Amino acid sequence: MRRVRIATVSFLVDEKPHTVELNLRRSLDYISDAARRGADIICLPENVITTNVKKDERHFVEPFPGEVTAAFCERAKDAGLHVIAPYVVSESGRKYSQATVLSREGEIIGYYRKTHLTGVEAQTLVPGDELPVFHMDFGTIAVQLCLDMYFPEITRVYTAKGAEVVFWPTVTHGPTQEALSVQLRARAMDNSIIMVESNLAGRPPYAPYEGRYYPGTARIVDHNGDVLVQTGRRHGVTVADVDLDDERLTVGCVLLRDPDHMREDILRVARMDLFAREYARLASGNTGDKNHE
């Protein structure tokens, strides 16, 4: 039995613009809250430092690692839990949307850089080109950011690399809330993996015609696609206890052996070699099918 207490955040977005300082302070408070609840790891939402900031701070970028990273490292050490903190960084003249992964000791374990940028992001940011997994003291995790969710191959690759929990920091409420839920749960079921979403939340009442619509839900989904906990449309921290050795019973048609071999069965039938060949052909512009030429 390998039990881990996972915390995720629905980050409060005020009606008035934030500052980078406010966002950092609020992030650190959420980490402390998770520590009080006995969490082993907490995930903050995408772009947590620049969420809803004033116009003059909208393009804030940290030369990595810098003061923001140092503040997160210090709080992770004080709180005694792992932290996933996503914010924009710069390195060697390039800017990335990055999720920095920190240890309980306040050390940088590594980072994930968003591989699939939106149109607006692509104007200023460079996409990452690696899909790393991180070996924590409780198990193996991975991270994908916002738009990455629309590319199911990412989660499949992470599963093949041994990830047991995939964190999804995002800042979205659509195209619909139902769509987000379906995608998150589908990734969990398809890969027999734990999925964790962190997002934004506003204060009620919600009035989209006034721009007051931040119903982003933070939630934790188990390998069966069941939502273990969620924040609903309220801001704050929610936690769930997960046993990473729990028997996996997801998709019956995939099972070739006993249920607890679910992950190995998925990898056995996933045909990564086939996908790799097809993607290589598409990348080279070859879309023809020789069987029909």
pLDDT of res. 292: 47
User: How many domains, the chain?
Assistant: 2
What's at 268, amino acid-wise?
R
**Calpha distance 129→62 (Å, rounded):** 20
The answer on 195 and 281 residing in a single domain is no
Looking at per-residue confidence, does 221 or 265 come out higher? 221
Residue 165: other Cβ atoms inside 10 A: 25
The answer on 66 and 167 residing in a single domain is yes
Query: How do residues 111-137 score in pLDDT, each as one tens digit?
Result: 999 999 999 999 999 999 999 999 999
Q: Which residues partner with 237 through β-bridges? A: 9
Would you say residue 291 has pLDDT above 80?
Answer: no
Mean pLDDT of the chain: 90
CA distances from 22 to 25, 49, 61 (A): 5, 8, 16
pLDDT of res. 207: 67
Q: Are 53 and 93 in contact (CB under 8 A)?
A: no
What's at 173, amino acid-wise?
H
The answer on 200 and 256 residing in a single domain is no
Would you say residue 80 has pLDDT above 50?
Answer: yes
Looking at per-residue confidence, does 202 or 163 come out higher? 163
Of 139, 269, 227, 195, residue with least CA distance to 261: 269
Place of tokens 């997994």: 133
The answer on 237 and 132 residing in a single domain is yes
The answer on 255 and 242 residing in a single domain is no
Band of pLDDT at residue 209, cut at 50, 70 and 90:
low
pLDDT, mean of residues 197-220? 79
Q: Are 148 and 115 in contact (CB under 8 A)?
A: yes
- Cβ burial of 244 (10 Å; 0-12, 13-18, 19+) is middle
Query: How do residues 166-193 score in pLDDT, each as one tens digit?
Result: 999 999 877 778 888 999 999 999 898 9
The answer on 140 and 255 residing in a single domain is no
pLDDT of res. 156: 92
**For 167-216, where are the alpha helices, taking DSSP H only?**
177-191
- Cβ burial of 216 (10 Å; 0-12, 13-18, 19+) is buried
Would you say residue 27 has pLDDT above 90?
Answer: yes
Domain CATH number, residue 68: 3.60.110.10
Q: Could you list the residue range(s) of the whole structural domain that residue 256 is in?
A: 251-293
Q: Which residues partner with 4 through β-bridges? A: 242
* Structural tokens at position 203: 């204060």
Query: How do residues 231-284 score in pLDDT, each as one tens digit?
Result: 988 899 999 999 999 887 655 556 666 666 777 777 777 788 888 898 899 999
